[in-house]
Amino acid sequence: MYLSRFLSLHALWVTVSSVIQHYTSAWGHYDVCKTQIYTDEGKFWDYTACQPEAIDMMKYVKVSLDPPDITCGNPPETFCGMGNPYMCNECDAAIDELAHPPELMFDAEGRYPSTYWQSTTWKGYPQPLLVNITLYWNKTIELTDNIVITFESGRPDLMILEKSLDYGRTWQPYQYYATDCLNAFNMEPKTVRDLSQQTVLEIICTEEYSMGYMANSKILHFEIKDRFAFFAGPRLHNMASLYGQLDTTKNLRDFFTVTDLRIRLLRPATGEIYVDPQHLTRYFYAISDIKVIGRCKCNLHATGCREENKKLLCECEHNTTGPDCGKCKKNYQGRPWSAGSYLPIPKGTANICMPSISSIGNCECFGHSNRCSYIDLLSAFICVSCKHNTRGQHCELCRLGYYRNAAAKLDDENVCIECNCSRFGSVHDRCNERGICECKQGATGPKCDKCLRGYNWHNQGCQSNVCDNELQICQNGGTCHNNVRCQCPAAYTGVLCEKRSCEMDPDGCSQSSAQGAISLPCVILLLPLIAPLGLSGFLIF
């Protein structure tokens, strides 16, 4: 049975791998958690590592501003053009067309004029104008594309992008942005292109995006794709290599993972070395768009991530649960939870949660073992080291040489009784369900420890009687010794002293026994020899 099981699994594997080769391109993104496989043996589920699609995370974001009243328009105020301090406009929170609330950072862009959030102006100069914009999802997400922030007002002179991995309890810098990194943060200016596979996790300060309103671009990046490219190649054509690295390097995986992002605006675009105190209405922050593309982190246990009550939740498979599929479902804790793996490429390893021991139907180990082991080949749990002479997947059977005690429950220590078959009288040490042993010829009794009539205990077994006082009587005055031999008078011989002794009477012993007595055992002896020959002949042809 084990052999045929093994063979069918082997056949299954062959089928699966050919299916995979066929669909490698489609499956390379880990977009199915399981597939049904058809084999001669029936249908099977093949479980694979899986992850949700990357989506526009700004659809699900929540935002908070610090200080909370930093948005312009309450009370209404005037702000002026960066390039031309005399071209001014009004921000008024009470009038739709003149209001610049935070939502406008996340609305659909591409329309003209673009809509944007705007802060109050830098009236408090020389006090710094500090604003924190915190984006939070209450869900762990994995960034898959650059974070792109579009500033309507010119890019800030100083800014820090921070991230949190623990729902905002602790924060780490992600990247520093400054017109002068050394001066502002005491850091050598760098760009992502200065990094390498070995230094990809370095937190850098870049001057690339802080040229204020003078530069043509309003856009600021946090470069995810350039970092991916160190592993996946310039056009990200070798994602397998990246996935392989992510799989084995937790730090790398965590680097691209966030629950929250914080944009710390430290100094608005000034466009000049010195701030002009006469025209502080020129200095403020305004953001028209923030792009965050990523996927729900589901630990490779889900392809679905749905919004429920304004919150993203992985639709966990593989009998995992939790917002990130980060634990095993109740009754599926048969082995410790583990994230799926991208390896081996392309279908990965699902690492599904296994049923808990206590939930395998009504069977456990019936108190005869406290250890279970999962056997992949059989897709089943097996009790290990069954005690009390039990055996079987759930210690529900008796060991060979023992039989089931009908009076005891399955969890009774005395559930299995020793057969106690006679070593000499029984064919083997096994007995039937009532404790009856299988006896050799001549032996009898439940344990085969007695001899049948006509047999006697001799030579540690039941030997057929050679002589007795009823049926096989010693002749010609012979006497029966222990039922095994006749002691014959001098003139007689033979088993029952039925022949005349040759020495005494040369004529009388001429041909009386020979043929008949020898030819019979001859046939009996040959039969067992012929039978195996015939059988093996059959097997060969």
Spatial contact of 325 and 347, defined as CB atoms under 8 Å apart: no
Spatial contact of 496 and 476, defined as CB atoms under 8 Å apart: no
The least CB distance from residue 357 to ligand NAG, in Å, is: 15
The least CB distance from residue 479 to ligand NAG, in Å, is: 35
CB nearer ligand NAG, residue 323 or residue 445: 323
The least CB distance from residue 160 to ligand NAG, in Å, is: 8
**Residue 436 interacts with ligand NAG (CB under 6 A)?**
no
CB nearer ligand NAG, residue 92 or residue 418: 418
Distance (Å) of CA 287 to CA 97, 104, 125, 192? 16, 8, 21, 23
CB nearer ligand NAG, residue 295 or residue 318: 318
String marking each residue 257-296 x if it binds ligand NAG according to CB under 6 A: -----x-x--------------------------------
Question: Residue 78 corresponds to which amino acid?
Answer: T
Region of 94-102, 412-420, 450-458, 485-493 interacting with ligand NAG (CB under 6 A): 412-420
**Residue 388 interacts with ligand NAG (CB under 6 A)?**
no
Distance (Å) of CA 442 to CA 424, 439, 450, 473, 521? 11, 8, 8, 19, 19
CB nearer ligand NAG, residue 15 or residue 138: 138
DSSP for 389-410, written as a single string? TEESTTS-EEPTTEEE-TTS-T
The least CB distance from residue 136 to ligand NAG, in Å, is: 8
The least CB distance from residue 310 to ligand NAG, in Å, is: 8
Q: Which of 64, 138, 349, 464 binds ligand NAG (CB under 6 A)?
A: 138
CB nearer ligand NAG, residue 166 or residue 503: 166
String marking each residue 463-492 x if it binds ligand NAG according to CB under 6 A: ------------------------------
Spatial contact of 191 and 199, defined as CB atoms under 8 Å apart: no
Site residues (CB under 6 A) for ligand NAG, limited to 26-65? 47
Distance (Å) of CA 352 to CA 35, 48, 364? 14, 9, 21
**Residue 352 interacts with ligand NAG (CB under 6 A)?**
yes
**Residue 420 interacts with ligand NAG (CB under 6 A)?**
yes
Spatial contact of 211 and 82, defined as CB atoms under 8 Å apart: no
Question: Residue 532 corresponds to which amino acid?
Answer: P
List all residues 6 or more positions away from 484 whose beta carbon is below 8 Å from its beta carbon: 456, 458, 463, 465, 466, 467
CB atoms within 10 A of CB 369: 19
CA pair distance 364, 367, nearest whole angstrom: 8
Total of residues contacting ligand NAG (CB under 6 A):
18
String marking each residue 143-182 x if it binds ligand NAG according to CB under 6 A: -------------------x--------x-----------
The least CB distance from residue 488 to ligand NAG, in Å, is: 39
Cis peptide before 67 (omega within 30 of 0): yes
Spatial contact of 284 and 79, defined as CB atoms under 8 Å apart: yes
The least CB distance from residue 364 to ligand NAG, in Å, is: 18
How many helices, marked H, and strands, marked E, lie in the chain?
6, 36
Distance (Å) of CA 514 to CA 220, 289, 509, 510? 115, 116, 10, 9
String marking each residue 113-132 x if it binds ligand NAG according to CB under 6 A: -----------------x-x
> Quick one: tokens of 284?
């403020």
Q: Which of 31, 53, 56, 66 binds ligand NAG (CB under 6 A)?
A: 66
CA pair distance 103, 357, nearest whole angstrom: 51
The least CB distance from residue 95 to ligand NAG, in Å, is: 27
CA pair distance 267, 274, nearest whole angstrom: 12
Q: Which of 41, 418, 429, 498 binds ligand NAG (CB under 6 A)?
A: 418
Site residues (CB under 6 A) for ligand NAG, limited to 317-346? 318-319, 323
Which residues of the shown chain bind ligand NAG in the complex (CB under 6 A)?
Answer: 47, 66-67, 130, 132, 138, 162, 171, 262, 264, 311, 318-319, 323, 352, 417-418, 420
